[in-house]
């Protein structure tokens, strides 16, 4: 069917003189419009490149500076302190040497323009360097909450002066400071402080000897090389982090690395699968258009004063991870005009433009419905092909090289890997159900995390999933960016779908179908039996991994950050201490805890670890389980632990964390082929409690006072350690916190639902301290 629609576009005959190609009027029109669209995008990129290149100045400011210089010249004032005269003489010599002549007035104009341009460039460089120096100051972050010093207020005013007006997404990139390299002794001391509550006294003494020896012997040598790298690299951590933590990992991406995002918790705007796909895909493409035009505003802290790095947005679309035997690579192309769609074991290519414009939601719905109605069967090996992306990387890399390097297999694989993104029209129904909330949310989470192991293309930057009942979600690959970047896209998609695009009364997308749009193209494969055997092997290993995931995803309604803030404490610190209390009650011991923080205050910054299990948090937890402790004593210890956690979080954000520095020192030691018992032991320590908060970044898109039911479910990830927990949470509005807890059934020590029960109790127990304290004062 699809081939028949494509065939009318062109005809060709083979003659003795060669191939006689005859294009139809419609085909010529589409080629012309496609070329026009490409040139328009190139022009926009060129224009944005100039605007970003001269920021914090503007292109028009060049004219102001040049006119100002020329005006002073005509007023017989030399603003250049003799530089213009020198340019004049140089022009005179150059022109005479070429055998030409130039009038005195022309030379003055040219000299004035050249000096004005040079002055303008010098001003831009000065403003950028000044802004970089200003943004290197982070004292404001350590100030007491709600109190701002006069010095900080003056600093904010100066930053705003140098920040320019109407910044685009990448405007601040060259003005962001570089991530500083902490002193080795500081990092070692912080490390020892972090592990002291987790080690026996004898083990801690042994580790102290190793650490102190490292700090005075091998450490300074490794630090010298790391400092050297920090001077020439944009970021001394990020390239190694991407390569060694993500791309060189040979285990499955599914569960171990990829993460997911959920739909709105309670709202289902339509139950028509194709319609929900139409609106959501169109919203994703609107976001991509804004990204291409750099119309997305940079993310700021401290109001609109301190910008965060935007580098991770660059590879959001048109990106795929390519497997290799030793290391993977990230393939990113400049533009893609199609998406790849999977349904019932078949792959389709869907063009996103028609008549030189983006398809409307109704037209995309029409294309999705055509795929849903397509009765064709999968080709041999096609149905479970994506299991290759779910299993071990080496078999997939060898298989790709052997069977997908030529012919129709290469063409079809290119269509998938070079698509804007990947779409799965899932055959199951998912989402929150009131009659069985726990089972429904657990099923929903597992479906987004791994599905059936062959219906998500885990190598794509993200797979957009539309379920049979209209619920949606996303599975994202981790190497190209961190969760807040995907969350920013996802917030926009959910808000645009709900509040901008909407649906007709019958549940379909607004607008009319367009019968002139060509049908989706069915991708063709020729997969030999040897390759099918590899697919089955990968699927079997992926199924074992997926079936071992124990998930508990639930909304916590008892209270939210609104009540926590009334207690004058950090919501994140509150949740982290609740996690520590829950873990101790679940396991009867403390463990090394990972909380993801960001370092995007610096150029190309990604993440840093906050070691949430501290001596202070352990003291608080022990007080909570000690019946002899009073409420006042527990509350005092809670505040001390909370302040300690906030201090560690701020240190991590400002480049004084522990783990990325030690990681890079370890990489340097490997390059130099020297062995460090200290670093080897540090990097082998397991994170048995790995946590992450999903931030809400565009709160203006959701008016929760008017629409309280439009709350997000957040997202989650798989367990990091075989005998540990992975916990993701999002604080939604003032009254809801959504939790996603993962572990493995194969571990006799863990149970996600049991941990969730302890977590709910810990949250309630901690908040009751504040109520009891208030009552006791009465």
**Angle between the N-to-C axes of helices 752-777 and 631-653, in degrees from 0 to 180, rounded to the nearest 10:** 120
Known catalytic residue: 647?
no
Residue pointed to by tokens 């726990």: 438
Report d(CA 35, CA 29) in Å as an integer: 10
Report d(CA 518, CA 350) in Å as an integer: 9
Closest CA to 613 of 303, 277, 197, 298: 197
Secondary element (H or E) of residue 175? none
Dihedral of CA atoms 474, 475, 480, 485 in degrees, nearest 10, equals 30
On whether the CB atoms of residues 755 and 763 are closer than 8 A, the answer is no
Which is the catalytic residue, given 478, 508, 583, 661? 478
SS3 state at 521: strand
CA distances from 726 to 68, 262, 473, 738, 742 (A): 61, 17, 19, 14, 5
Cα angle vertex 622, ends 650, 567, to 5°? 50
Helix, strand, coil shares of the chain, percent, nearest 5, are: 50, 15, 35
Pairing outcome for strands 338-343 and 422-425: parallel
As given in the structure block, the two tokens for residue 667 are 């990489």
Q: Which residues pair with 343 in a beta bridge?
A: 346
Q: What's the N-to-C CA distance of the chain in angstroms?
A: 78
Report d(CA 58, CA 505) in Å as an integer: 47
Q: Which residues contact 636 (CB under 8 A, 6 or more apart)?
A: none
On whether the CB atoms of residues 696 and 731 are closer than 8 A, the answer is yes
SS (H, E, C) 36-91: HHHHHHHHHHHHHHHHHHHCCCCHHHHHHHHHHHHHHHHCCCCCCCCHHHHHHHHH
Report d(CA 32, CA 20) in Å as an integer: 20
SS3 state at 186: helix
Dihedral of CA atoms 716, 721, 724, 730 in degrees, nearest 10, equals -20
Q: Catalytic positions, please?
A: 478
């Amino acid at each position: 069917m699809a081939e028949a629609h494509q065939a009318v576009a062109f005809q060709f005959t083979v003659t003795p003189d060669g191939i006689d190609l005859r294009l139809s009027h419609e085909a010529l029109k589409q080629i012309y419009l496609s070329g026009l669209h490409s040139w328009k995008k190139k022009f926009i990129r060129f224009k944005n490149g100039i605007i970003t290149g001269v920021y914090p100045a503007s292109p028009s400011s060049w004219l102001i500076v040049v006119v100002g210089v020329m005006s002073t010249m005509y007023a017989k004032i030399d603003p250049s302190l003799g530089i213009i005269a020198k340019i004049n003489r140089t022009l005179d010599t150059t022109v005479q040497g070429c055998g030409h002549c130039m009038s005195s007035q022309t030379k003055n104009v040219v000299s004035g323009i050249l000096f004005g341009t040079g002055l303008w460039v010098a001003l831009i460089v000065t403003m950028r360097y000044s802004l970089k120096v200003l943004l290197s100051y982070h004292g404001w972050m350590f100030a007491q909450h709600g109190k701002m010093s006069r010095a900080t207020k003056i600093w904010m005013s100066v930053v705003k002066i140098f920040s320019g007006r109407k910044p685009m997404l990448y405007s601040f990139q060259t003005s962001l400071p570089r991530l500083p390299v902490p002193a080795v002794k500081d990092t070692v001391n912080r490390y020892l402080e972090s592990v002291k509550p987790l080690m026996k006294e004898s083990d801690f003494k042994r580790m102290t000897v190793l650490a102190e020896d490292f700090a005075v012997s091998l450490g300074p040598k490794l630090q010298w090389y790391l400092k050297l790298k920090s001077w020439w690299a944009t970021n001394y951590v990020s390239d190694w982090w991407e390569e060694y933590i993500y791309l060189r990992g040979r285990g499955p991406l599914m569960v171990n690395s990829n993460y997911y995002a959920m739909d709105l918790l309670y709202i289902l705007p339509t139950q028509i699968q194709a319609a929900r796909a139409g609106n959501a895909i169109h919203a994703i493409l609107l976001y991509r258009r804004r990204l291409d035009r750099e119309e997305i505003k940079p993310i700021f802290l401290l109001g609109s004063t301190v910008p965060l790095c935007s580098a991770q947005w660059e590879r959001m679309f048109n990106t795929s991870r390519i497997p290799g035997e030793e290391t993977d690579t990230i393939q990113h192309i400049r533009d893609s005009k199609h998406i790849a769609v999977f349904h019932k074991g078949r792959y389709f290519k869907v063009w996103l433009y028609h008549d030189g414009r983006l398809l409307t939601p109704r037209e995309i719905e029409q294309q999705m419905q055509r795929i849903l109605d397509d009765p064709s069967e999968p080709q041999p090996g096609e149905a479970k092909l994506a299991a290759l992306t779910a299993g071990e990387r080496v078999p997939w890399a060898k298989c790709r090289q052997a069977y997908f390097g030529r012919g129709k297999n290469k063409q079809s694989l290119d269509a998938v890997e070079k698509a804007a993104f990947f779409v799965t029209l899932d055959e199951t129904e998912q989402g929150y159900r009131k009659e069985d909330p726990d089972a429904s949310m657990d099923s929903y989470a597992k479906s987004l995390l791994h599905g059936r192991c062959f219906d998500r293309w885990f190598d794509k930057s993200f797979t957009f999933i539309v379920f049979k009942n209209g619920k949606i979600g996303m599975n994202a690959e981790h190497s190209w960016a961190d969760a807040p970047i995907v969350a920013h896209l996802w917030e926009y998609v959910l808000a645009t779908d709900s509040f901008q695009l909407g649906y007709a009364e019958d549940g379909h997308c607004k607008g009319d179908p367009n019968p002139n749009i060509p049908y989706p193209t069915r991708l063709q494969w020729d997969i030999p039996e040897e390759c099918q055997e590899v697919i089955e092997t990968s699927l079997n290993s992926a199924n074992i991994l997926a079936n071992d995931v124990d998930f508990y995803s639930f909304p916590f309604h008892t209270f939210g950050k609104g009540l926590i803030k009334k207690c004058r404490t950090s919501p994140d610190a509150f949740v982290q201490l609740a996690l520590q209390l829950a873990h101790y009650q679940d396991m009867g011991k403390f463990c090394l805890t990972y909380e993801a923080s960001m370092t995007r205050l610096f150029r190309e910054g990604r993440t840093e670890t906050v070691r949430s299990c501290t001596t202070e948090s352990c003291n608080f937890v022990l007080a909570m389980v000690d019946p002899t402790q009073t409420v006042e004593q527990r509350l005092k210890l809670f505040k001390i632990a909370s302040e300690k956690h906030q201090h560690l979080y701020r240190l991590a954000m400002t480049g004084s964390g522990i783990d990325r520095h030690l990681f890079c020192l370890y990489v340097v030691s490997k390059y130099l082929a020297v062995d460090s018992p200290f670093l080897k032991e540090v990097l082998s320590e397991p994170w048995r409690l790995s946590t992450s908060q999903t931030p809400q970044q565009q709160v203006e898109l959701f008016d929760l006072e008017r629409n309280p039911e439009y709350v997000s479910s957040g997202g989650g990830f798989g367990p990091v350690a075989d005998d540990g927990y992975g916990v993701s949470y999002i604080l939604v509005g003032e009254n809801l916190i959504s939790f996603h807890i993962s572990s493995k059934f194969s571990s006799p020590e863990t149970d996600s639902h049991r941990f969730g029960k302890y977590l709910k109790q810990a949250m309630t127990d901690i908040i009751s301290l504040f109520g009891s304290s208030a009552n006791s004062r009465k």
